Amino acid sequence: MNNPFTDPREVVRITCMVHQRLNPVTIEALRDVGAHTVLSESARCVRQESLPPSVLKFGSRLRHQDAPMDIFRTTVARDYALGAVRGLRDALELDKPGRGSVFVQDIQEYSILSPAEVPESTLGLDDGTLLNDLTLMTGIVSTVGSAEALARIALRLGAGVPVLTLGQGTGIRDRLGLLRIAIPPEKELLHLIVPSQDAPGLTRLLIDDGRLDRPGGGFLYQTRVRAAVVDSLVRIGHQEHAASMEQLIAAVDDLKRGTGWRRRFAGMDPLQEGGSKTRRNHREITFICPEGRADAFVHAALNTGAAGATVTKVRCLSFSDVEGGIAARERGVLCIPAALEERVMEALLVEAGRDGEYATRLQVLDAPSVFSHQRT
């Protein structure tokens, strides 16, 4: 029997990270841009809150505040990527700080369904406000509160608005027998969009200050972002000046048509020696499948050399009847060396072809920089 998943398509993945109060508008906007299927995942963002001076303490005080968010992901044909992002920006008013972010990444997708084509009436105008040359930093940690600690480091450095999610880790833990009870399966994930020129230095600072260079400290990798509208509201609350630093930075971004002017971590490079170093030339592989099928995909990947995967339960919003009304999905993410890509993908494609589900899809994306602790 022919496997319907063997031919990849060049598409873009659109990711919207928005405040929960915008969910109805976001769903309608995604429907308008022609999305076939949208995956929704609960999240939260962390910001600094500036408090006014008190009687006993002079100067502004800072504390951290969480806000509920949802992450929406869908794929469309590449030719429509930038117009779709501008359309979503306009519909969701993402040019206003604090409402959220939207970004696109070029990926290869294996799916029975053809990629969505965006109606011309929903394409936003090219007004030059989309940012490019950006990087998505993804951190995966096991210790409770570690992602929160990384988020606070990012906020202290003014790197952006971190978004946190939860998942379940599989891999090495499953191979330890009874010893696996010492390693919690729960994972915390950090998502942070930064200018590409700042990514190497910021990686070094997150490794050092977040203690990721310890055994079991965590996993940090980067993927490229083609274009984005990024939430700049790092700090809320008491404001001492007519404009915040974030507003000034956003204004200069518009004037400079990008983020290349604001390199902040010159001379800071990732660790390159000992048991802690960044590695190059990896792939992020994502599988999306009906609920209950993730274990089969994980085991197929592990049997071909993958170290592990992080699996998250997500909700599926289908704007057609093609997928049979299956609402529950599982989304798994692996980050593997490029040398393993062919073997791992072959195993995953065989697994995907067993039942030919419309709900199943595989996505591949370059991960040019990866960090995890390694024994010397």
At residue 326, the pLDDT reads: 59
Picking from 241, 256, 271, the residue at the C-terminal end of a domain is 256
Average pLDDT of 359-371?
93
**Identity of the residue numbered 163:** V
CA trace torsion 79, 85, 86, 92 (10° rounding): 150
User: Would residue 324 count as lying in a domain?
Assistant: yes
Beta-strand runs (E) in the chain? 9-19, 37-51, 61-77, 100-111, 134-141, 163-171, 186-195, 219-225, 227-229, 235-237, 272-273, 276-290, 308-318, 328-337, 361-373
Average pLDDT of 95-109?
94
Indicate whether 251 and 298 sit together in one domain.
no
At residue 72, the pLDDT reads: 97
pLDDT band of 11, cuts 50, 70, 90: very high
Quick one: how far is CA 91 from the chain centroid? 22
Average pLDDT of 346-371?
89
At residue 251, the pLDDT reads: 60
Indicate whether 314 and 183 sit together in one domain.
no
Reported as a single tens digit per residue, the pLDDT across 167-225 is 998 765 555 554 455 555 789 999 999 999 889 888 888 888 888 877 777 889 999 99
Q: Is the pLDDT score of 105 beyond 50?
A: yes
Q: What are phi and psi of 155, to 5 degrees?
A: -70, -40
User: Would residue 94 count as lying in a domain?
Assistant: yes
User: Would residue 270 count as lying in a domain?
Assistant: no
Indicate whether 314 and 196 sit together in one domain.
no
Reported as a single tens digit per residue, the pLDDT across 291-338 is 999 999 999 999 999 988 999 999 998 877 666 555 889 999 999 999
For the chain, the residue count is 376
Most confident of 63-67, 95-99, 320-324: 95-99
User: Would residue 266 count as lying in a domain?
Assistant: no
At residue 325, the pLDDT reads: 58
pLDDT band of 274, cuts 50, 70, 90: very low
Indicate whether 46 and 148 sit together in one domain.
yes
Indicate whether 99 and 217 sit together in one domain.
yes
Indicate whether 116 and 209 sit together in one domain.
yes
Picking from 223, 256, 289, the residue at the C-terminal end of a domain is 256
Average pLDDT of 94-110?
94
C-alpha–C-alpha distance, residues 6 and 4, integer Å? 6
Indicate whether 215 and 285 sit together in one domain.
no
Q: Is the pLDDT score of 275 beyond 50?
A: no
| Unique residue bearing structure tokens 């002079």 | 58
| Unique residue bearing structure tokens 């404009």 | 243
Indicate whether 243 and 291 sit together in one domain.
no
Q: Is the pLDDT score of 4 beyond 80?
A: no
User: Would residue 275 count as lying in a domain?
Assistant: no
CATH number, residue 194: 3.30.70.120
Most confident of 50-64, 113-127, 360-374: 360-374
Indicate whether 96 and 149 sit together in one domain.
yes
At residue 115, the pLDDT reads: 80
When divided into structural domains, the chain yields a total of 2
Using alpha carbons, list the distances in angstroms from residue 134 to 125, 199, 225. 21, 9, 5
At residue 307, the pLDDT reads: 87
Indicate whether 47 and 117 sit together in one domain.
yes
Reported as a single tens digit per residue, the pLDDT across 125-151 is 776 778 888 999 999 988 778 889 999
User: Would residue 323 count as lying in a domain?
Assistant: yes
Q: Is the pLDDT score of 279 beyond 80?
A: yes
Indicate whether 209 and 320 sit together in one domain.
no
- Residue 225 lies in domain: 12-52+60-256
User: Would residue 35 count as lying in a domain?
Assistant: yes
Reported as a single tens digit per residue, the pLDDT across 68-83 is 999 999 999 888 888 8
Percent pLDDT > 90 in the chain is 43
User: Would residue 274 count as lying in a domain?
Assistant: no
Indicate whether 198 and 312 sit together in one domain.
no
Average model confidence (pLDDT) across the chain: 82
Percent pLDDT > 70 in the chain is 78
